[in-house]
Amino acid sequence: MMVNEDVENRVINLAVRTTRITAGDLYKALRAYMRHIQNKKQLRQAAKDSVTKGKQSVKELVGQGQGVSSMEIGDSGIRDFKRIANKYGVDFAIVKDKNENPPKYTVFFKAKDADAITSVLKEYSDRLNKRKKEAGKERPSILNKLKKFKEIVANTPLKHREKRKEQER
């Protein structure tokens, strides 16, 4: 019974303490809330002021006020283009033209990144050429290889072991 009385006393003390809110306590709570709001504003402003790198929207790219250039690239290898552009640190935006079939992509980039974009395009075109050369070569079919191995296994004679048990005295 002693434990229950102790718990009841703590609950009553807590209830009494919370009902005695003074003007000073209210003032401290409001100041803490205002500090919280200010911190959130500063974080939002810092995020807004930070410059986006790599892939971004056309609106963000134009909003940086450094001039924008564009060029069309084909359907194949967009993922490779993104990787290479990120490797060179180029800010770019890709827009898909849905009216074309197959779809064409337009890449927008900062005008000041012209030297870097030429390096990106050179490496990108090298990858596309390499991929086309590999596609031109005939690769052996895996299914045909599997059939050959099945025939080889079927034609190999199975080894039978003879088990003999001899009694020794």
Which CATH number is 85's domain given? Answer: 3.30.70
Residue 153 lies in a domain: no
What domain count does the chain have?
Answer: 1
122-148 pLDDT tens trace: 888 888 888 888 777 777 788 999 999
Q: Which residue matches tokens 């290898």?
A: 77
For helices 114-136 and 78-88, give the axis angle rounded to 10 degrees: 140
Residue 94 lies in a domain: yes
Q: Which residue matches tokens 């935006």?
A: 93
Residue 39 lies in a domain: no
| pLDDT confidence of residue 85 | 83
Residue 6 lies in a domain: no
Higher pLDDT, 33 or 167: 33
- Note the pTM of the prediction, 2 decimals: 0.47
Residue 118 lies in a domain: yes
Alpha helices in 50-156 (DSSP H): 58-63, 78-88, 114-136, 142-155
Reduced DSSP (H G I as helix, E B as strand, rest coil) percent helix, strand, coil of the chain, to 5? 60, 10, 30
Mean local confidence (pLDDT), 108-123: 81
Domain membership of residue 123 as a residue range = 58-136
| pLDDT confidence of residue 152 | 92
| pLDDT confidence of residue 3 | 64
**Coil, strand, or helix at residue 27?**
helix
